[in-house]
Copies of this chain bind each other. A is one copy, B any other.
Amino acid sequence: MARPPRFDISDLLDAAVRLAAEHGPPGVTMSAVAAAAGAPSGSLYHRFAGRSALLAEVWLRTVERFQEGYFAALESSPDPRAAGRAAARHVVAWTRAHPLEAGLLLYGAQDFGREDWAPEHRRRADEGNRRVGAATAKLADALGARDAQEAERVTLAVIDVPLSVVRRPLRAGTPLPAHAEELAERCTDALLSLRGDGASAT
């Protein structure tokens, strides 16, 4: 029925990921993506409504790919501590397997022009955030968190700490150290084991 595409969406998004990892979101210009993929600019505009749409798709595809395994890890065990450790390992392992895409996780949706996104893209982003919030809230509950501060510590433990472990190497472009998974797991576990009364300090 029609001519087959020489550059499909995923080719173009792959090129955009490379550019974003190397030069940050501002490096993802339509002309740069076209050049990187070897495609004419017309093909880009045939696939994406405009630059905001491309930025939204590259960001959302990356986050959703990451979250897929992340949620699986968070639900991999009935023991919340074990689940948290698995989640921490997942963040590091996924970064090891997908270093370019992981580079994007260090940015926020705002850096990908969230304010210019179409409603549908915003909705997808909100949905992802909602799922993350729900998952960490459930974990916090299972761990017996009693107030906002304790819930926030759970979020810190299972999301922010693992991301911090990979941040420096990703920024510097150096490979992750061999023990990164172990480091993330143990730090996450340490925060999950804290309790509200502050009794753990020496």
A residues adjacent to B (C-beta < 8 A): 24-26, 81, 108, 110-111, 148-149, 152-153, 156, 160-161, 163-165, 167-168, 171, 177, 179, 182-183, 186-187, 189-191, 193-194, 198, 200-202
A153 contacts B26, CB within 8 Å? no
A177 to B151, CA, bound (A): 13
Which residues of the other chain, B, contact A177 by a CB distance below 8 angstroms? 148-149, 152
A24 with B201: CB separation less than 8 A: no
Give complex CA distance A172, B154 in Å: 19
Copies of this protein in the complex: 2
- A202-B193 in contact given A177-B152, A179-B149 (Cβ < 8 Å): yes
A193 to B167, CA, bound (A): 22
Tell me the minimal C-beta distance from A107 to chain B in angstroms: 9
Cross-chain contact A191 with B193 (CB below 8 angstroms): no
CB distance from A146 to the nearest CB of B (A): 13
Q: Given A26-B26, A179-B149, A194 and B187 touching (CB < 8 A)?
A: yes
Q: Contacts A26-B26, A149-B179, A177-B148 hold; do A156 and B193 have CB atoms under 8 A apart?
A: no
Q: Determine the distance from Cα of A120 to Cα of B190 in the docked complex, in whole angstroms.
A: 41
Rounded to whole Å, the gap between the CB of A88 and the closest CB of chain B is: 12
Question: Contacts of A24 on B, CB cut-off 8 Å?
Answer: 110-111
Instruction: List the B side residues contacting A160 at CB < 8 Å.
Output: 161, 164-165, 167-168
| Known interface pairs A24-B111, A110-B171, A187-B194; 6 further A-B residue pairs with C-beta atoms within 8 A, sorted by A's residue number | A26-B26, A149-B177, A149-B179, A153-B186, A153-B187, A189-B201
Q: CA–CA, A10 to B69, complex, Å?
A: 47
Nearest CB to that of A148 among chain B residues? B177
- Checking B26, B168, B201, B202 against A186 with a beta-carbon cut-off of 8 angstroms, the contacting residue is B201
